[in-house]
Chains A and B, each alone.
Chain A
Amino acid sequence: MTVKIDKFPGVYLHESDFEQGRVLYNTWDPQAQYAWDAGIAIGRYLSELKQGHLVGVRCNQCRRTVVPPRAFCEWCFRPMDDWVNLPDTGTVNTFSLCYVTWDMQYLTEPQIPAVIDIDGTRPSVGIMHLLGDVDPKKVHIGMRVQAVWKPEEERTGSILDIRHFKPV
């Protein structure tokens, strides 16, 4: 770094330091549980998902129709005006082929998260979901997709009521 300093603090620990018991440490395994209230806008979004519908909201001032729904327009800072029924189709805006889990376990078949721009939104905006029923090699930006819903009796009012999106 600076030429004025020739020795820097910070001791690098190696696996062998732990295997051979040269360093001490203790651990903690927290039991933290939470329950999140869905709220007004997302509450309705979830109950519509349970019915097999995808809905957004419209602001008449900035003329946007957006999803996920929100109770107020964050730009105009006023309540949203209308609920809008959206089709369950859209276009892949971007995606990844993910071969690891969050704790770096390897997957042989990739998960395919995507941002899917939902038809009927304006300007075109998306939600995050997974792609399925598709060869990972064939996924591309611009691909047209449609929601694959769980059977009605299995839906719980969750984003998972849509299993994934598949190519149209």
Chain B
Amino acid sequence: MAMRKVAVVGAGMTRFVRRALETGKELSYEASKMALDYCDLTLDEVDCVVHGTAPDSFDGVHMKGEYLSDGSGAWRKPYTRCYVGGGTGVFAPIHGWYHVASGLFDICLVVCEEKMSSCQPHPQGAFLTIFDHTTERPLKPNLLWIFAMEMNRYMHTYGLKKEDIALVSVKNKRNAADHPCSLLGDANITLQDVLNSEVLAWPVQRLDVSPVTDGAVALVLAAEHVARRICDKPIWIEGVGWNLDTAYWTNRDLCYPRYVEKAARMAYEMAGITEPRKQIHIAEPYDPFDYKELHHLEGLMLFDRGKAPEATALGITQRNGDLPVCPSGGLLGVGNPIAAAGLMKVAELFWQLRGEAGARQVPGQPRRGVAQAWGDLMQVGTVAVLGV
């Protein structure tokens, strides 16, 4: 395939907060402006814009992509909005990547925004429509059910305890204490705090879950000839992958995310990665729940099936461990404005690989990282590999 090299050359983000004063447009503008300023570009130089955001029902705004378009700098430009559920935040830069890799555009602004606080009394109301309208919704399901049942299946299959999984929440909330935009960073949180938090839907407890959040993140992507001219250290998008498994979720084994493996294989092949455990130095898997980080690390083939909890207990996934995982603080710590949270992970790799992550910097000059997000009815995987 004759594809052009594409780099990330700028990133910006707002603070992640429970309820923001700013509108979605204003959040989008702030993140976009910061990303453009980062690489000294003006909006005129942007060829196309990609936006990723949750369904219209979240905000009660018809065609939310259009509503957010001015804040994303999209007017009088080729503009598309993409959406693959929680996977959107890593899919949006993939969408931007193929705009540039194809040769169609040289510079693409990628923006992800979420304002979950607008949906009252709780954004779960907008999530309920993910269940089948005839065979499932009459049971009055709530969103936690599906995750709690997946977590239970994962624990049962590998004989895991709550303690094994709660360590992820502790790690990520501690990591997030070093993130200036974080909602739930807590340097002093303990395993007991997580284990003693209230039970919502066993085995899911309050501190196993990421919070409702408002926020926005933006990236600037550029073709190689532009990237080398405007950026001292472009971070290359070396591989991308995405994959969707069956939506008959009760018909597949919930203990393993096969769709993540398929997406990862696609991305690794493109990036020339044959031994991910040696060739990947940082991982930012999607962690809306603590068990999901473990699940996804296994799907990304960074640990054997059922072995990610053991690696976590051994400290391998700590920021100074052999494979730092969610050095940003992840969704559990920084916050979970759905699409923006996924793009935050890609932005984190950008800062980490440039050596600009400040207090969160992973030691040892990491050269390659993987970001992954997950969504739809729990069965879409989106993966991006970034490298120096």
User: Which residues from chain B contact A129 at a C-beta distance below 8 Å?
Assistant: 139
B363 within 8 A of A: no
> Are B125 and A103 closer than 8 Å at their CB atoms?
yes
B193 within 8 A of A: no
Interface segment among A77-85, A107-115, A145-153: the answer is: A107-115
> Are A13 and B19 closer than 8 Å at their CB atoms?
yes
Interface segment among B200-208, B274-282, B291-299, B303-311: the answer is: B200-208
User: Which residues from chain B contact A4 at a C-beta distance below 8 Å?
Assistant: 38, 356
Which 5 residue pairs are nearest across A and B when measured between Cβ atoms?
Answer: A10-B15, A96-B148, A102-B142, A10-B14, A11-B21
Contact of A8 among B14, B120, B203, B248 (CB under 8 A): B14
Closest to A114 in B: B149
A40 within 8 A of B: no
> Are A10 and B156 closer than 8 Å at their CB atoms?
no
> Are A102 and B128 closer than 8 Å at their CB atoms?
yes
Summarize B's interface: helix, strand, loop or mixed.
mixed
Interface flags, B191-220, vs A, CB<8A=1, else 0: 000000001111110000000001100000
Closest to B361 in A: A3
Could you tell me the distance between the alpha carbons of A94 and B155 in the complex, rounded to whole angstroms? 10
> Are B251 and A126 closer than 8 Å at their CB atoms?
yes
B137 CB to nearest A CB, Å = 9
A55 within 8 A of B: no
Could you tell me the distance between the alpha carbons of A136 and B250 in the complex, rounded to whole angstroms? 21
Closest to A30 in B: B60
Q: How large is the interface on B (under 10, 10 to 19, 20 to 34, 35 or more residues)?
A: 35 or more
> Are A103 and B122 closer than 8 Å at their CB atoms?
yes
User: Which residues from chain A contact B11 at a C-beta distance below 8 Å?
Assistant: 2
User: Which residues from chain B contact A94 at a C-beta distance below 8 Å?
Assistant: 149-150, 152-153, 156, 254
Offer 17 A-B interface pairs, CB within 8 angstroms, sorted by A: A1-B180, A1-B181, A2-B11, A3-B357, A5-B12, A11-B21, A13-B19, A45-B135, A100-B142, A100-B144, A102-B122, A102-B142, A103-B124, A128-B141, A128-B145, A159-B138, A160-B139
> Are B121 and A103 closer than 8 Å at their CB atoms?
yes
Q: How large is the interface on A (under 10, 10 to 19, 20 to 34, 35 or more residues)?
A: 35 or more
Interface flags, B155-185, vs A, CB<8A=1, else 0: 0100000000000000000000001110000
B22 within 8 A of A: yes
A46 within 8 A of B: yes
A59 within 8 A of B: no
> Are A159 and B143 closer than 8 Å at their CB atoms?
no
Could you tell me the distance between the alpha carbons of A121 and B351 in the complex, rounded to whole angstroms? 50
> Are B21 and A101 closer than 8 Å at their CB atoms?
no
User: Which residues from chain A contact B229 at a C-beta distance below 8 Å?
Assistant: none
B296 CB to nearest A CB, Å = 18
> Are B128 and A9 closer than 8 Å at their CB atoms?
no
